[in-house]
Structure 1
Amino acid sequence: MIKKATLLEAIAGKNRGLLASPAEKTAILSAIAQLEDYNPTPRPVEAAELLDGNWRLLYTSSDELLGIDRVPVYNLGQVYQCIRAKEGKIYNIAEVTGIPYLEGMVSVVARFEAVSERRVQVKFNRFVVGLQRLIGYQSPNQLIDAIASGQKFLAVDFSIAERDQQGWLETTYLDEDMRIGRGNVGSVFVLTKVA
């Protein structure tokens, strides 16, 4: 699809948005809006088989997420949003690189509930941040399995009161390998499915 290729070309080399100029951000948002008009899955929340899985972030306008890169001597590595549709869970995982042997990881776990055919209410309930080596981090799936088993980590690891930390996420485009979402604070996310 030409519109999908146009978006991928626009975000190429932008390091998930960190390197995008204001003019490029405007062009990217325009390309996103054009692709959203051709969403092949008009009821994405009901398409659990497409939503489910691990998604790697290609681009975002989220200052909160991109702000991880502003920590001195550290850089934002790969960022994943892993959806477990049957369980109603989302695992956000950001890898942090920088000083050798001191690579970090930030994860936020949330429950979600459908409120429309495109939107889910998200309630954050656990936060984990620490050094990958101390946590034993190897991959998103390994971390998710450890979190789901109730494992506590040698890290900053605490529960979040769901009533205090919640928002919504709307899926505005979904196909076999690309998902576009918009969040309640105005952020946009472009993700690709990974094995």
Structure 2
Amino acid sequence: MEAVNPTRAPIEATQLLDGNWILLYTAFSELLPLLAAGATPLLKVKSISQSIDTASQSIVNSTTLSGPFADLSFSASATFEVRSPSRIQVEFKEGIVQPPEIKPSVDLPADIDVFGQRISLSPVQQSLGPLQDLVANISRTISGQPPLKIPIPGNRSSSWLLITYLDEDLRISRGDGGLFVLARQGSPLLEQ
């Protein structure tokens, strides 16, 4: 697909580049532990996305994980400089950890697969009444708390991104660490 890229100057095609992009595939080694954690029975990767705003030359990478008790969201904000019609230099500024979004009830699957054996969680679900009350109290305590902002140190803050394919629904990018395939939020590609 990269060889037949319909957009010869992706960085200049702001109407195509701007927006929220959902990660479909990556070979980026630093994301693999996160994706592996999301493959466990009780923790799922709900979404990994990248929002690009060419007017402000900013990028926000966001991840949301979903567990039985809460959804956890964190992001990294960055600015960028255009280096060529298809390449940008990215400078990460800060990480942001949102307060957990506590679920109104514990969300456990009926059963899980552990080393090839199905294990029923119904006995655990039946004993969660007191735990759900505790979760509700925690939810009331942390709701409305501001996010935790963490500066990203200089030695890990710089990166680059080469956009090798861009159309109205799909973007393929290469960075100093991997390949990224993303679909625009709302694209029919996400329904497949």
Does structure 2 conserve the Cα–Cα contact (< 8 Å) formed by 1:68 and 1:75? no
Separation in 2, partners of 1:162, 1:82: 22
Q: Is structure 2 residue 13 aligned with structure 1 residue 47?
A: yes
Q: Given the alignment of the two structures, is residue 108 of structure 1 paired with residue 108 of structure 2, yes or no?
A: no
Unaligned runs of 5+ in 2: 103-144, 187-192
2:45 to 76, 79, 91: 76
TM-score in terms of structure 1 length: 0.66
The alpha-carbon deviation at position 155 of structure 1 amounts to 4.3
Amino acid paired to 2:63: A
Q: CA RMSD in A?
A: 2.1
Indicate the residue corresponding to 2:87 in structure 1: 119
Alpha-carbon deviations, 1:51-95, whole Å to 9, x = none?
000111111112222321344742222111000110000010111
Moved more, 156-165 or 124-133: 156-165
The alpha carbon displacement at 1:110 in A equals: 0.6
* Aligned ranges 1:1-195 → 2 under 5 Å: 35-71=1-37, 73-100=42-69, 102-133=70-101, 154-162=146-154, 164-185=156-177, 187-195=178-186
CA distance in 1, matches of 2:85, 2:100: 37
Whether the 8 Å contact between 1:66 and 1:76 is mirrored in structure 2 is: no
CA-CA distance at 1:42 after TM superposition: 1.0
CA distance in 2, matches of 1:50, 1:57: 16
- Indicate if the aligned counterparts of 1:95 and 1:106 stay in contact, CA closer than 8 A: yes
- What are the Cα deviations for residues 125-184 of structure 1, in whole angstroms up to 9, with x where unaligned? 0101244428xxxxxxxxxxxxxxxxxx64442122456411100000000111000011
Compared with structure 1, are the counterparts of its residues 96 and 131 closer, same or farther at alpha carbon in structure 2 (3 Å cutoff)?
Answer: farther
Residues 108, 124 of structure 1: 8 Å contact kept: yes
Decide which structure has greater strand share: 2
The aligned amino acid for 2:163 is: T
The structure with more helix, counted as a fraction of residues = 1
Specify the structure having the higher radius of gyration (Cα).
2
Q: Quick one: which amino acid aligns to residue 94 of structure 1? A: T
Q: Which amino acid aligns with 1:91?
A: V
Alpha-carbon shift at residue 120 of structure 1 (Å)? 0.2
- Partners in 2 of 1:64 and 1:156 — Cα distance? 22
Q: 4+ runs of 1 displaced by more than 6 Å?
A: none
Aligned residues with identical type, % of pairs:
36
Q: What is the total number of aligned residue pairs between the two structures?
A: 142
Q: CA deviation at 1:190?
A: 0.7
Could you tell me how far apart the structure 2 residues matched to 1:82 and 1:184 are?
A: 19
Structure 1 stretch displaced more, 65-74 or 171-180: 65-74
d(CA) in 1 for partners of 2:53 and 2:21? 11
CA contact (8 A) 1:93 1:105 kept: yes
